[in-house]
Structure 1
Amino acid sequence: MKKVAAALAALVLAHASQAAEVDKPLLAKAEKQKPEVLKLLGRMVNIDSGTFNGKGLDAVGALATAELKKLGGRIETSSAAPAAGHNIVATFSGKGKGRILLVAHMDTVFADGTAKARPFRIEGSRAYGPGIMDDKGGIVMAIGALKMLQGFKDYAKITVLLNTNEETGSHGTRALIEKLAKEHDVAFNLEPGRSADGLVIARKGSGEIEMDVKGKAAHAGVAAKEGRNAALEAAHQVLQLSKLGDDAKQTTVNWTVIKSGDRSNVIPDHASAQADVRVAVAEEFDRVEHDIERISAQRLIPETQVAIHLRRGFPPMPASPITDAIAQRATDIYAELGRKLTLESTGGAADASLIFAAGVPTLDGLGIVGGGIHTAEEYAEVDSIVPRLYLLARLMQEYGRGAQ
């Protein structure tokens, strides 16, 4: 028994030693790709591509398409209607077993003119610009990793999907995502790497509450009581519906947009409000939907009309042993570089949730490391490019060969 245990221990140690050995040629390729990645990233960041800017989205798509074609990808584009721009699918065929889906998005949250006002720049060890992390950094990482793997054919299929409307729920790409997901064995979502050099292994689901209030206009100084103040009713609803969250279940409901009236001397006859909803379990969507109907029936201003509904976005991506297994493999690969990954859950929603819901093992957060996402200070850590390229390329090698 002791001899068997010793033999097993020796095998484990040998495997650990082998796993810790860096692939030096691949690492050299990652280092060679770094300036090219930064150059392409700068070109993409300097294009306004907010979710509703079809021209800008297609311009970013054209840059990506040109690079993917050079690598031998078969390119298909499709309308993202009702969203703007065109989704891009690039397919690469190999001779192995594994089918890998890489996912990134071209749209940002920034308004037109932001790229000109805050163009791509590098200061010290950080690069800045609108959408540099979320998610143009993900696009260039996919292209960089594919360049590193030129000549590697030990996979059945690698597909790159570039989405135009992730920031508004991927409603113009959802059917395509679900279709492609089911054609692959594993998916790597190239959302930003977390600031602590992290991957994402669980995400909350997202939704929006949309409320519309109708009242009756009147002169605010002469006949205010003849009116029905839609703004006041909306404020009442926001206050009473602000308690919809549930800390114990990690459900949050935050009212973020309220609009009403355009003149201070007129009782407004219309008001609207929106709330951001995040849930860790899908059942909470049902509970919130039921509660908004029940609670909103309690009016403050008689004869006002309140229309309210929950618009569901991304489903939750809960913690899973399958995701944990892929994350462990990623952790082992990163250790080859002497680096350690953090594994995180987040309240942010992303396409990974749709892929996971389709039954496909998914690992998220494989883009460049950085922070300040969705703000004027969004940045990418330049020194993270090489290790992250290495990580992604090694994962593609292993799962291309059919790793389980």
Structure 2
Amino acid sequence: MRFGKLAALGFAAWLLSTPAFADEQVKPILDSAEKLKPDAIKFWEQLVSIDSGTGDAQGINAVGAIAAEELKKLGASVDLVPNEHALAGDNIVATFTGTGQGKILLMAHMDTVFAKGSVAKRPFRIEGGRAYGPGVSDDKAGVVIGLTTLKILKELNFKDYARVTLLLNTNEETGSRGSRTLIERLAKEHDVTLNLEGGRAGDGITIWRKGSGTIKVEVKGRASHAGASPELGRNAVMELAHQVLQLSKLADETKGTTVNFTVVKGGDRKNVIPDYAEADADVRAVVSEEFDRVEHDLAATIKNKLIADTEVKATLTRTFPVMPQNAQIDALATMAQRIYGELGKTLALGGSGGAADSSLAAGVFKPTLDGLSMIGANPHTDREYAVVDSMVPRLYLLTRMVMELGRKP
């Protein structure tokens, strides 16, 4: 199967024409998933119990070592791929070769947003049918679902695919800056990319994502004594506060564009007028043109200053591109809904303001689907959880998708 621009409609038509499994074909996959569930939960706990925030080389490599060992047991060819920009930790690329024609890329990430020591404060636990812990849904669950799916395929002796590759990324939470070339290369080498971010609340998957970027604002002022001669200073913090308020208005609710300041730094002594301050804003947009508009308006807006003789600089750095909904994604989503229907379940479709590696795969014009891991909620907070009972249905969904995408159309 080759999915260039000319093949897009043929790909969609083939997906939509594939018949559902018979009941007797469903049972072996479900039985295998149920059998592997207890060990999968233990593996999940093992991963969540390791602090692996982006940049924590020790933690990320510890997670990677555990995953790599399991993948080698399954017969994978495992490569450790360093990040391009010397960011901490090695990416894991595990490859399985079969006898079919389809090439499928599975992706998950090993890093979290949480600082070292978070696991000690909030260890893995299951309570009320939900699993809790740092990165339990985003994205340690994705690693578990990807690896366990490969175990199911091995148990069923299914090899009707040309290649199945599992990529475990080390720095997705900071824009995959050190892994972007690797992700794009692998996506181009495969026919389809299935990203294992958390399933959406309401038992859904993700068919579009906003793009992301960061605004960095820096203000230079002049220091002076805060009590004896404040009038001689130029308060960088006050000017930064002014800039934060007016730059926040670059958001456009009607277009789905958000600008949220999340990090602010300035001053280090309470009796000194600060001469430097900086802030970072998270920017999200549904369409790429909005980043152009924000960048243009950014330069004009900062000229309006509150405090004279301060120097203001602002830059926009783009991280993940937009993952737009298209015919290929719609066809994959329809396939996923049909497969989920074999379990008597309904799979909801939706989009996300959160950016992810799926945007990079979609950005090289490859069919891409996201949100295929367990159902989760509240990522990036101490309230993050994943629904334990969603494990088996999601294992069935991913296993069946690999089976259908791997065989010859």
User: In which range does the TM-score fall when normalised by the shorter chain?
Assistant: over 0.9
In structure 1, what is the equivalent of residue 59 of structure 2? 56
Q: 1:303 aligns with which of 309, 319, 335?
A: 309
1:83 is the counterpart of 2:78: no
Q: Secondary structure at the residue paired with 1:243?
A: helix
1:31 is the counterpart of 2:37: no
Q: Please give the residue correspondences for 1:2-401 in structure 2 after superposition, counting only pairs within 5 Å.
A: 23-80=26-83, 81-150=85-154, 151-401=157-407
Q: After the TM superposition, which of the residue ranges 182-191 and 301-310 deviates more from structure 2?
A: 301-310
Tell me if structure 2 keeps the 8 A contact 1:215–1:227. Answer: yes
Between structure 1 and structure 2, the one with the greater Rg is 1
Tell me if structure 1 keeps the 8 A contact 2:199–2:372. Answer: yes
Tell me if structure 2 keeps the 8 A contact 1:206–1:315. Answer: yes
Q: Name the CA shift for 1:69/1:247 in 2 (closer, same or farther; >3 Å).
A: same
Moved over 6 A (4+): 14-17
TM-score (norm 2): 0.93
Following superposition, the deviation at residue 126 of structure 1 comes to: 1.3
In the aligned structure 1, how far is the partner of 2:172 from the partner of 2:228?
48
In the aligned structure 2, how far is the partner of 1:18 from the partner of 1:266?
72
Following superposition, the deviation at residue 15 of structure 1 comes to: 8.5
Q: Name the CA shift for 1:154/1:260 in 2 (closer, same or farther; >3 Å).
A: same
In the aligned structure 2, how far is the partner of 1:235 from the partner of 1:290?
21
Q: After the TM superposition, which of the residue ranges 296-305 and 215-224 deviates more from structure 2?
A: 296-305
In the aligned structure 2, how far is the partner of 1:338 from the partner of 1:53?
42
CA shift digits 1:120-145 (9 cap, x unpaired): 11113111111110001000101110
Tell me if structure 2 keeps the 8 A contact 1:20–1:333. Answer: no
Instruction: Specify every segment of 5 or more residues in structure 1 that has no aligned partner in the other structure, as ranges.
Output: 1-13
In structure 1, what is the equivalent of residue 12 of structure 2? none
In the aligned structure 2, how far is the partner of 1:393 from the partner of 1:314?
28
Amino acid at match of 1:133: S
Q: Secondary structure at the residue paired with 1:299?
A: coil
Q: Name the CA shift for 1:297/1:332 in 2 (closer, same or farther; >3 Å).
A: same
Tell me if structure 2 keeps the 8 A contact 1:206–1:314. Answer: yes
In the aligned structure 2, how far is the partner of 1:19 from the partner of 1:173?
40
Task: Report the count of equivalent residues.
Answer: 390
Q: Name the CA shift for 1:225/1:72 in 2 (closer, same or farther; >3 Å).
A: same
In the aligned structure 1, how far is the partner of 2:245 from the partner of 2:296?
17
Tell me if structure 2 keeps the 8 A contact 1:209–1:311. Answer: yes
Tell me if structure 2 keeps the 8 A contact 1:69–1:75. Answer: yes
Q: After the TM superposition, which of the residue ranges 275-284 and 252-261 deviates more from structure 2?
A: 252-261
CA shift digits 1:210-244 (9 cap, x unpaired): 01111100011111111111011111111111110
CA shift digits 1:78-104 (9 cap, x unpaired): 212332101110011111110000000
Tell me if structure 1 keeps the 8 A contact 2:20–2:338. Answer: no
Output the aligned Cα RMSD: 1.5
Tell me if structure 2 keeps the 8 A contact 1:20–1:335. Answer: no
In structure 1, what is the equivalent of residue 5 of structure 2? none
- Once the two structures are aligned, what percentage of the paired residues are identical? 57
Tell me if structure 2 keeps the 8 A contact 1:210–1:275. Answer: yes
Following superposition, the deviation at residue 19 of structure 1 comes to: 6.3
Amino acid at match of 2:47: M
Following superposition, the deviation at residue 20 of structure 1 comes to: 7.2
In the aligned structure 2, how far is the partner of 1:376 from the partner of 1:296?
35
Amino acid at match of 2:104: I
Tell me if structure 1 keeps the 8 A contact 2:21–2:342. Answer: no
Following superposition, the deviation at residue 299 of structure 1 comes to: 1.6
CA shift digits 1:160-202 (9 cap, x unpaired): 1000000000001001001101000001000001121110000
In the aligned structure 1, how far is the partner of 2:67 from the partner of 2:153?
17
Amino acid at match of 1:88: I
In the aligned structure 1, how far is the partner of 2:386 from the partner of 2:76?
27
In structure 2, what is the equivalent of residue 6 of structure 1? none
In the aligned structure 2, how far is the partner of 1:188 from the partner of 1:332?
16
TM-score (norm 1): 0.94
CA shift digits 1:314-371 (9 cap, x unpaired): 0111111110110000000000000111101110000000000011100000111121
Amino acid at match of 1:112: K
In the aligned structure 1, how far is the partner of 2:29 from the partner of 2:150?
12
